Amino acid sequence: MIAARGATLPVLKPFRLSGAPSSSPGRFKLRHGALLVVAFCLAVGVGQAEAGPAAPSIIATILKWTPLLAQGFALDVAMSFLAMAIGTIAGVGVGLGLISLRAPVRGGSWLVTQCFRNSPWLVLLFYCMLLMPFELHIAGATVPLPDWAKATLGLSLPVMANVAELVRGAVRSIPFGQWEASEALAFTRGQTLRMVILPQCVKRMTPPWMNLYAILTVATPLTSVVGVSESMTLAGDVLSSEGRTELLVPIYLYLLLWFFIYCYPIALATRALERRFQVR
Amino acid sequence: MVPPSWTPEQPLVRLRNVHKAFGANVVLGGVTFDVMKGDVICIIGPSGAGKSTLLRCINALVPIDRGSILVEGQEVNDQKLDKLALRRKVGMVFQQYNLFPHRTALENIMMAPIHVLKRERGEVEARARALMRKVRLEGKETSYPGELSGGQQQRVAIARSLAMQPDLMLFDEVTAALDPETVKEVLVAIRELAEEGMTCMIVTHEMGFAREIADEIYFTDRGVVIEHGPPAEFFANCRDPRTRQFLSQVL
C-alpha cells in the first residue's frame, strides 16, 4: 500500500468487445420515423407535380378519407389486441405443456408449437377463414362468426406458438438451484412453478412478449388479403373510388406512418424494460 | 404405511453401503456411517469426492442406486417414500444460496412455512423476524436478495431452512462462494446453531472451522469414506496417505 502512494494504479475502464453489437438491431428508432415523414412529403410533392395544378390537393384528399382509414386502423388495433390476448392465454397453457413431466402432454404441445410456429401466418389465416363456418350453432342459438373474428383466431395461432416457446425458454433460463431449493423446502412441483419459477419468468418474458405484439400489429394488415375491412383494404377502396394513380404511394406511406406512431412507443417501452431487467 | 419406530437413542441418519453412479461415473461407492441426534459432523475431501451428492441423497434430491439411508427410521431408498414429509424434517443450505430473487428476505423465510406447513401467517411472520434477528440481519427484512451481500444472503438462506423447524440441517459448501471477509459471519451463524444442539451435516473446505465445530470428521475420496475420527485425533494422526496428502494441500 505504501509503495503505491503517489503512483498511478492501473484501472480497468469499462470496455466493449469489438465483436459485440453496440445496440439492439432491428428495432424502430426515431430516425426511421423521420425518414418516413420525409418519404411521405416527397411522395406528396411528386404526386402533386404529376397530377398537375388543376387536380385537387393530395393532402386534402387524404384528410378527407382519414376518418374511414382510422376506422380500419382501429379494427387492426382491436384484432391485434384480441389475438394477443387469446394467443397469450393459450400459449401459456401450451408452454406449460412443453415442460410437463408427462411425455404425451409434452409431445402434443411440441407438435402444436412446431406446427403453428413454423407455418406462414398467411397460410394459417387462410385455413381459419376457409375451414371455420360463418356462424356457430351453440345449444340452439346461432352465433354469427364474422370475418374479422375468424381472422383474429387465425392470427392468435402463431402468437400462441410463439408465446409457448417464450414460456419454455424462460422456464429453462431459471437457474437449476431455484428448483433445487424449492424441492428441499418441500414445495410440490406445482407450488414451485407457481410461486418460484413463473413469477421470475414474467419479468424475463415481458420484453420479448411486447416485441411479439409489435410484430403482430404490423402483421394484422395481412387480414386484408382474406377480405377483412381493415386499414389496408380500406386504403385500396379509397384508391379505386378516387381513381387517381398519383395517390397510390402517398396513401400507403400515410398508413405506414400510422403504424409507426403506434408501434414506436411499444418499441421504446420494450427497450426500457430490457435495460431495467438486465441490471438486476 | 407402518410408522417408523424411531427413538432419539437411535441414529438420526443411518447410511448403509450407499451407492450412486451418474452413468459410468461412480460418485458414491458404498458409504456407511451413523449420525446421532445433536451430532455435528463435517465431511471433507477433494472435489469430486461425492460429498455434495451424499447430502442430496439424504433429502432425496438425488435417488440412490443401492444401499439404505434411514432418516429418523424412515427408509429414503423407497419408491413409496413421501419425499415431501422427509424434506420437511431436513433443511438444506446451498453453496449458491439459491434465494428466491423476486421475494424479500422476510418473504423468502416465510414462504415454505405458510405454503408447505400451512401455518398461520402472523405466527410465521413473528418467527421469521425472530430468525432474522438470530442471524443478525435485523433491518434487512424488506431487502431483496440482489441487494444483500453474499454472506447476508447465505444467512437468509440458513434462516429460511430453520423456519421449517427441521430436525437435521445439511450444509453444502456454504462458504465456498463467499468473499473471505464474509465467510466468518456465516460460520458464526452455523456454530451458534450447532451449540443449540441442532444436528448438522456440513460439507466444507474450512478446515479450521471443521476442527473447531465438529464432533466427528469424515474424509471422503472418490465416493468412499477413507477415515474418520474426532477432530483432535483426526488432524493429529491420520493414517491414510490420501488423507495426509489432502491435509498437506489444504492446511
The backbone torsions φ and ψ at residue B98, rounded to the nearest 5 degrees and listed phi first, read 55, 40
**B176 Cα to chain A: minimum distance (Å):** 15
Whose cell is 475431501? That residue is B45
Separation between Cα atoms, residue A236 and residue A17, nearest integer Å:
49
Closest to B6 in 3D by CA, of B66, B73, B99: B73
pLDDT at B64: 93
Per-residue H/E/C for B58-121: HCCCCCCCEEEEEECCEECCCCCCCHHHHHHHEEEECCCCCCCCCCCHHHHHHHHHHHCCCCCH
Which of A41-45, A89-93, B164-168, B217-221 has the least mean pLDDT?
Answer: A41-45
Residues across chain B: 251
**Cβ contact B92–A184 (<8 Å):** yes
Q: Which amino acid is at B185?
A: E
At B39-85, the pLDDT tens digits run 999 999 988 778 999 999 999 999 999 999 999 989 999 888 999 99
Residues A223, A151 contacting (CB under 8 angstroms): yes
Closest to B92 in 3D by CA, of A214, A217, A185: A185
Residue B27 lies in a domain: yes
Query: Could you tell me the end-to-end alpha-carbon distance of chain A, in angstroms, rounded to an integer?
Result: 33
The backbone torsions φ and ψ at residue B29, rounded to the nearest 5 degrees and listed phi first, read -115, 50
Residue A78 lies in a domain: yes
> Which CATH number goes with the domain that contains B137?
3.40.50.300
Which of A149-158, B2-11, B14-23, B240-249 has the least mean pLDDT?
Answer: B2-11
Strand partners, B201: B41, B170
Residues of B in contact with A178 (CB under 8 A): 98, 100
Decide if pLDDT at B19 tops 70. yes
Domains: count for chain A: 1
Closest to A114 in 3D by CA, of A167, A162, A170: A162
**Cβ contact B111–A185 (<8 Å):** yes
pLDDT at B177: 87
Residues A151, A226 contacting (CB under 8 angstroms): yes
Residue A14 lies in a domain: no
Residue B1 lies in a domain: no
Structural domain that includes position A108 = 30-279
- A118 grid coordinates: 413454423
**Cβ contact B59–A184 (<8 Å):** yes
Q: What is the pTM of this model?
A: 0.81
Taking only residues 131 to 190 of chain B, the set having a beta carbon closer than 8 angstroms to any beta carbon of chain A reads: 146, 157, 160-161, 164
Structural domain that includes position B67 = 13-250
Separation between Cα atoms, residue A223 and residue A122, nearest integer Å:
8
- B203 grid coordinates: 460439507
Q: What angle, rounded to 10 degrees, do the helices at A248-279 and A30-51 form?
A: 180
Separation between Cα atoms, residue B189 and residue B159, nearest integer Å:
10
Helices then strands, counting H and E runs in chain A, come out as 10, 2
Closest to B20 in 3D by CA, of B29, B33, B10, B11: B29
Separation between Cα atoms, residue B47 and residue A4, nearest integer Å:
38
Residue A43 lies in a domain: yes
Residue A6 lies in a domain: no
Domains: count for chain B: 1
Residues of B in contact with A177 (CB under 8 A): 94, 96, 98
The backbone torsions φ and ψ at residue B91, rounded to the nearest 5 degrees and listed phi first, read -90, 150
- Per-10-residue mean pLDDT for chain A, 280 residues long? 56 65 61 88 86 80 90 92 95 95 95 94 90 80 86 94 95 94 95 94 89 91 88 90 86 91 88 70
Taking only residues 176 to 205 of chain A, the set having a beta carbon closer than 8 angstroms to any beta carbon of chain B reads: 177-178, 180-181, 183-188, 191, 195-196, 199-200, 203
Residues A94, A159 contacting (CB under 8 angstroms): no
Residues B157, A177 contacting (CB under 8 angstroms): no
Residue A239 lies in a domain: yes
Residue B5 lies in a domain: no
Residues of A in contact with B111 (CB under 8 A): 185, 195
- B43 grid coordinates: 465431511
DSSP letter for A2, please: T
The backbone torsions φ and ψ at residue B32, rounded to the nearest 5 degrees and listed phi first, read -135, 115
Residues of A in contact with B94 (CB under 8 A): 177, 180-181, 184
As for the ipTM of the complex, it is: 0.91
**Cβ contact A178–B84 (<8 Å):** no
Separation between Cα atoms, residue A89 and residue A103, nearest integer Å:
22
Residue B198 lies in a domain: yes
> Which CATH number goes with the domain that contains A50?
1.10.3720.10
**A174 Cα to chain B: minimum distance (Å):** 11
Helices then strands, counting H and E runs in chain B, come out as 9, 10
CA nearest to B165 within chain A: A185
With residues binned 3-state (H G I as helix, E B as strand, rest as coil), the percentages for chain A, rounded to 5, are 75, 5, 20
State chain B's maximal CA–CA distance in angstroms.
Answer: 55
Residue/partner pairs of A103-110 with CB below 8 Å, 24 or more apart: A109/A164
CA nearest to B87 within chain A: A186
- A82 grid coordinates: 384480441
